[in-house]
Structure 1
Amino acid sequence: MVSEVTAAGDAAVKAVLGEERFATVQNSKLLVVGAGGIGCELLKNLVLTGFRNIEVVDLDTIDVSNLNRQFLFRRIHVDRPKSVVAAEAVRQFRPEAEIISHHGNVKDAEFGLEFIAKFDVVVNALDNLEARRHVNRLCLAAEKPLLEAGSTGHLGQVTVIRKGDTECFECQAKPSQKVYPYCTIRSTPEKPVHCLTWAKNLFDLCFGPEDESNLLADLAADMRKFQAQESVDGEDAGKRIFAHLFEEDIRKQAELEDLWSDQRPPPGPLSYEEALKKNECPTDADKDKLETQKVPSVAGDAKGFVASVAKMYGERRDLIGQSSFSKDDPIAMDFVHCAANLRMQNYRIPRLSRWDAQSIAGSIIPAVASTNAIVAGLEVVQLLHVLQSLGKPMKESRARTVWVRFPEPSRKKILQPSSLHSPNPDCFVCGSRTARVALRSLEDCKIAALAKGCIQGRLGAHKPALYANGSCIFDPEYPEPGPEAEEEGLHPDWSLAQWGLSSGSLLQVEDEGQGWSINLAIREEPDLDEQLFPGGFKVEAGAGAGEEAAKDLAEKKRKAEADAQEASAAKKAALDANTVALDD
Structure 2
Amino acid sequence: MATQSAVPVVLDTAVRDLVPTAKLLVVGAGGIGCEILKNLALSGFSDIEIIDLDTIDVSNLNRQFLFRKEHVGKSKAMVAKETILGYNPNIQITAYHDSITTSQYGVNFFKRFHVVLNALDNRAARNHVNRMCLAADVPLIESGTSGYSGQVEFIKKGVTQCYECQPKPPQKTFPGCTIRNTPSEPVHCIVWAKHLFNQLFGEEDPDQDVSPDTADPEAAGDAGKTALVEEMDTNAQDGNVQRTSTKQWAVDIDYDPEKLFNKFFGDDIKYLLSMENLWKSRKAPLPLSWSKAQAMIEEPSENASNIHRTDMQVWSLSKCTEIFDQSIASLKKSLQGKSFLVWDKDDKPALDFVTACANIRSYIFSIQQKSRFDVKSIAGNIIPAIATTNAMVAGLVVLMAMRVLANDFDHCQSIYVRQKSSVSNTVLMAERVIEAANPKCYVCAPQPFVNVYVNINSMTLKDFENEVLKKSLNMIAPDALIDGKGIVIISSDEGETDVNNDKKLSELGIFDGSILKVDDFLQDYELTVCVHDYEAKEKDDPPFKISSDVELKTIEEVNDAKNGENNGNANGSGDAKAQQDGDDDDDIAIVESVVEDDPQEGPSKRRKMNPPEDEDDDLVLIEEDDD
Q: Same fold (TM over 0.5)?
A: yes
Equivalent residue letter for 1:406: Q
Equivalent residue letter for 2:184: E
Which structure 2 residues correspond to residues 46-65 of structure 1 after superposition, within 5 A? 46-65=40-59
Deviations 1:130-163 (A, max 9, x none): 1111111111111111010001111111111111
* Residue 223, structure 1, aligned to residue 246, structure 2: yes
Equivalent in the alignment of 2:142:
148
Q: Retained in 2: the 8 A contact 1:385–1:397? A: no
SS in 1 for 2:373: helix
Q: Retained in 2: the 8 A contact 1:207–1:323? A: yes
Match of 2:366 among 348, 358, 375: 348
Residues 167 and 285 of structure 1: CA distance in aligned 2, closer, same or farther (over 3 Å)? farther
* Residue 466, structure 1, aligned to residue 480, structure 2: yes
Matched residues in 2 for 1:28 and 1:267: separation?
63
Q: CA deviation at 1:559?
A: 8.8
Deviates more, 1:367-376 or 1:517-526: 517-526
Matched residues in 1 for 2:383 and 2:601: separation?
25
Unaligned runs of 5+ in 2: 1-7, 214-241, 552-584, 591-599, 608-627
Equivalent residue letter for 1:83: A
Equivalent residue letter for 1:468: I
Q: Retained in 2: the 8 A contact 1:293–1:354? A: yes
Deviations 1:16-69 (A, max 9, x none): 954652221111111100111111110011111111111000111111111111
Matched residues in 2 for 1:449 and 1:285: separation?
53
Match of 2:491 among 469, 472, 475: 475
Match of 1:280 among 287, 295, 298: 298
Match of 2:181 among 184, 187, 193: 187
RMSD: 3.2
Equivalent in the alignment of 1:308:
327
Q: CA deviation at 1:410?
A: 5.6
Match of 1:399 among 403, 407, 412: 412
Residues 246 and 287 of structure 1: CA distance in aligned 2, closer, same or farther (over 3 Å)? same
Equivalent in the alignment of 1:83:
77
Residues 286 and 93 of structure 1: CA distance in aligned 2, closer, same or farther (over 3 Å)? closer
Matched residues in 1 for 2:491 and 2:194: separation?
27
Q: Retained in 2: the 8 A contact 1:31–1:123? A: yes
Q: Retained in 1: the 8 A contact 2:194–2:343? A: yes
Residues 225 and 466 of structure 1: CA distance in aligned 2, closer, same or farther (over 3 Å)? farther
Residues 301 and 414 of structure 1: CA distance in aligned 2, closer, same or farther (over 3 Å)? same
Q: Retained in 1: the 8 A contact 2:489–2:500? A: yes
Which structure 2 residues correspond to residues 395-544 of structure 1 after superposition, within 5 A? 397-408=410-421, 411-418=424-431, 419-431=433-445, 433-439=448-454, 441-469=455-483, 470-476=486-492, 484=495, 488=497, 490-533=499-542, 536-540=543-547, 542=549
Q: CA deviation at 1:199?
A: 1.5
Matched residues in 2 for 1:64 and 1:543: separation?
48
Matched residues in 2 for 1:287 and 1:81: separation?
27
SS in 1 for 2:41: helix
Matched residues in 2 for 1:256 and 1:92: separation?
65
With the length of structure 2 as denominator, give the TM-score of the two structures: 0.77
Q: CA deviation at 1:445?
A: 1.3
* Residue 38, structure 1, aligned to residue 51, structure 2: no
Instruction: Choose between structure 1 and 2: higher helix proportion.
Output: 1
SS in 2 for 1:519: strand
Percent of matched pairs sharing the same residue: 37
Q: CA deviation at 1:267?
A: 2.6
Equivalent residue letter for 1:448: K
Equivalent residue letter for 2:97: H
Residues 347 and 555 of structure 1: CA distance in aligned 2, closer, same or farther (over 3 Å)? closer
Equivalent in the alignment of 2:312:
293
Which structure 2 residues correspond to residues 177-256 of structure 1 after superposition, within 5 A? 177-216=171-210, 222-225=245-248, 232-233=253-254, 236-256=255-275
Q: Retained in 2: the 8 A contact 1:474–1:490? A: no
Residues 197 and 465 of structure 1: CA distance in aligned 2, closer, same or farther (over 3 Å)? farther
Equivalent in the alignment of 2:238:
none
Match of 2:604 among 555, 558, 561: 558
Matched residues in 2 for 1:179 and 1:31: separation?
35
SS in 1 for 2:337: helix
Matched residues in 1 for 2:458 and 2:244: separation?
20
